[in-house]
Amino acid sequence: MRIVPAVDIRGGLCVNLIQGDYDQETVFSENPVDQAIEWYNGCNSIVHIVDLDGAKAGRCCIENELKAMQDAGIPVEVGGGIRNMDTIDTLINLGVERVILGTAAHSSPELIKESAAKYPGKIVVGIDAKDGKVALSGWLDVTETDAVTFAKEVEAAGACRIIFTDINSDGMMGGPNLASTQAIAQAVNIPVTASGGMSALKDITAVNALEVDGVDEVIIGRALYLEVFSMEEALAAAANEA
């Protein structure tokens, strides 16, 4: 199980939201690039970057930060505001290892097919769900689309991975929604990254049990920032050494 630290960027700052609510924001660092470097040095894993301004604006708003991360040799996956091939091209040219489609995957499924064909193994779909329904546009729009059904559709379209986030759990420090994550993983044959609600080492251990279902990564944000546990402790739990 890989630990994937999260760096959410808004207004040039490293922040964290509760349940995707832009009015419930905590600033954890004034320099998201330095934060990404710190996390990478601690885990030697890909870093999860969320462009919160881009999620609202529908375009990439963090090109300068991504260029700095590329210069520093930090492998990243990026989501937020990626709605067309031009943006995907830009991100790939900036050295982004994985491009995460969210709203666009739902509204423009052909974009998954086109981009996955052009960049095999680099197109990921982020499925954010509330009460089992897909949420879009920075979680502002909850649809009637069933998350498990959608997972099957994006796999068929060519996505190489799914990042599943349960909105009700995200930022709440109450533990992940294991049942929903497992349902997604069991429905597809591509790997799944668990996201949202990691609040204790026992949560990482619990996600470990889903490896048999295809969950091989877990994104951790707020718990690391609040120093509930250290990166070293998280890595040990992910390796079943805690």
The one catalytic residue in 51, 53, 128, 166 is: 128
Active site residue 8: yes
Contact 171, 158 (CB under 8 A): no
Question: Which are the contacts of 131, defined by CB distance < 8 A and separation ≥ 6?
Answer: 142, 168
What ranges make up the beta strands (E) of the chain?
Answer: 2-10, 13-18, 21-29, 47-51, 76-79, 98-101, 123-130, 133-136, 141-146, 161-166, 192-195, 215-220
Active site residue 128: yes
Neighbours of 173 (CB within 10 A): 16
Distance separating alpha carbons of residues 191 and 211, to the nearest angstrom: 9
Distance separating alpha carbons of residues 11 and 53, to the nearest angstrom: 7
Contact 214, 185 (CB under 8 A): yes
The one catalytic residue in 8, 51, 53, 166 is: 8
What SS3 state is found at 132? coil
Q: Interhelix angle for 147-157 vs 109-118, to 10°?
A: 40
Name the residues annotated as catalytic: 8, 128
